[in-house]
Structure 1
Amino acid sequence: MVDLDAYFARIGYAGPRDASVATLRALHALHPATIPFEAIDCLLDRGVDISPAAVDAKLIHGGRGGYCFEHNSLFARVLTELGFGVEGLAARVRWNAPPDAPAQPRTHHVLKVAAEGQDWFVDVGFGGCVLTAPLRFAPDVIQVTDHDNYRLLAIPGGLSLEVRREAGWIPAYDVAFSPCVPRDYEMANWFTSTHPTSHFRHNLLCALTTPQARYGLLFNRLTTRPLNGPATKEILDADGIEAVLRDTFGLAVEPSWRPMIERAAQTPPA
């Protein structure tokens, strides 16, 4: 299924290998703090291979990150290997979309995890708003995590995840209760990584959430949201982008990325 020794070395975990809630919480905190969210392969026209071997080679052994289909498929295999009950679900992303925007396809991978007689909402692959702890499947309850507060709202056939930010409650995505099979994710991943309307085909973005702060790169703009303190933004040149990708996000930057980085550096300030 997955090389647990290599995965645990990648995220810096040395705790128990059991199916307890404590283990789930520990892994859920470490994964998004060490394996960045990024979709650089989409910008390079490489596509994204979500087969287990490809995901492990990239995220565990290759010094790279990935997006939801890579992160959560890997996390699902790790949890299954440890004895958790894991079910894959799909969601419609609503982040930054107006309330009357047309419904988007279900192109986000999330997990339902059973631990100690309770179901948990799990997601280690949602960019700069990624969960750092599992949430209880409890609608209309504010659930506090280190970086953000969340709530799940009941909707027909599923739940809507919202996050509390300075502007109030912001919708993240709507998740359906219908379980998915691997082919569902293959189709959604193909659309997300190759379709011309997918924002991953046009935007350089990267995110990492550590115990100290959330770091988010969009084109040439680096946003830092400390655990305690106001957010800061910085405009970077090409050398600065490359340095941040390497030093902040821990990516093994390839020489072939340079043209993509230089294009991102030319993006006008928002």
Structure 2
Amino acid sequence: MSDTAPTTPFDLDAYLRRTGWEGVRRACLDTLRGLQHAHVRAIPFENLDPVRGRAPSLDLADLTAKLVHARRGGYCYEHNTLFARVLETLGFGVTRLLCRVQLGAHRPEDRPRSHLALQVRVPGDPQTYLSDVGFGAVGALLEPVPLRTGEEFPGAGRRHRLVHRPHRGPLPMWVLEAHGAGDGGGWEAQYAFTLEPFEHADVEVVNWHVATSPRSPFSRTLYIQRLTTDAHLLLHGTALTETRTDGTVTRRELTGEAEIRSVIDTELDVEVPDGLTLPR
């Protein structure tokens, strides 16, 4: 298992250069908002390692080399493991949460806990926050939201809310919903979770399963997304979807490996690893 203890050296300066964050380095809500927004705009979501049969390393040095120093991205376990270390380095409290993705599911229990998100505590603030830089969907959070129900949270042009849903467990079930992220245009559940804390060892096991299981979509199909100033780009297999901030959606089918590589390199800003065979 990887060593993610807080004493492991971490190059915060390099991370901040990668994300372009130039704000104050203290554990406050403005810093949390700014860091999350900068991270999701700077570092793409991608699953190129699982597609080529490799479980991505969650070792801090490997994450730094890949997501900070290389022109690469990662999926939720990589993004949020790295972001958790950034926040802990700055003095935030972080609890790792494993969530059940709800997109395309009828009930929370229909999906395993396969998504990593973070519960964040800001020193001196009794409110805790849901923070997430690794959800590969157009309904992803761009800024943290308070862990409370009964209100809508606008964040960087997107609308979210948290609701409670009945379930069989002893802890309340929270559901993150996004408005206008689906074809229906209304509120759509993104993922469900309880506030039970999980450890890095738990995340390692889920990461390995999702990356290597032949039943996992991440081991079989390309998912690459990039957020620009005015659009969300998603490559799913050979289909490229652009969702603009005004709600306009355009889709096009890519033909041939050369075009797919070109789009990944130029439009999605991800370097394709050597030896990876892409769909044709």
1:62 equivalent in alignment to 2:70: yes
> Quick one: structure 1 residues 102 and 89, their matched pair in 2 at CA, closer, same or farther if it must change by over 3 Å?
closer
1:164 equivalent in alignment to 2:174: no
In structure 1, give the amino acid aligned to 2:91: G
User: How many residues in Structure 1 have an aligned counterpart in Structure 2?
Assistant: 260
Deviation at 1:31, TM superposition (A): 0.6
5 Å-filtered alignment, 1:1-270, equals 1-97=9-105, 99=106, 103-115=110-122, 116-117=124-125, 118-128=127-137, 129-155=139-165, 156=167, 157=171, 158-165=173-180, 166-167=183-184, 168-237=186-255, 238-257=257-276, 259-260=277-278, 263=279, 265=280
In structure 2, give the amino acid aligned to 1:80: E
Aligned residue for 1:50, secondary structure, equals coil
Q: Which runs of 5+ in 1 are unaligned?
A: 266-270
Deviation at 1:101, TM superposition (A): 8.1
Deviation at 1:103, TM superposition (A): 2.0
Paired with 1:9 and 1:26, the residues of 2 have a C-alpha distance of 14
Which of the two has greater helix per residue?
1
Using the size of structure 1 for normalisation, the TM-score is 0.91
Using the size of structure 2 for normalisation, the TM-score is 0.88
Q: Deviations over 1:47-103 (max 9, x none)?
A: 211121221111111221001100001000000101111111110111122x15862
Aligned residue for 2:21, secondary structure, equals coil
RMSD: 1.6
- Say whether the 8 Å CA contact 1:32–1:130 is kept in structure 2: no
Deviation at 1:27, TM superposition (A): 0.8
Identity over the aligned pairs, expressed in percent?
35
Paired with 1:85 and 1:35, the residues of 2 have a C-alpha distance of 23
Paired with 2:88 and 2:107, the residues of 1 have a C-alpha distance of 38
- Say whether the 8 Å CA contact 1:127–1:208 is kept in structure 2: no
Aligned residue for 2:111, secondary structure, equals coil
Q: Which runs of 5+ in 2 are unaligned?
A: 1-8
Aligned residue for 1:150, secondary structure, equals strand
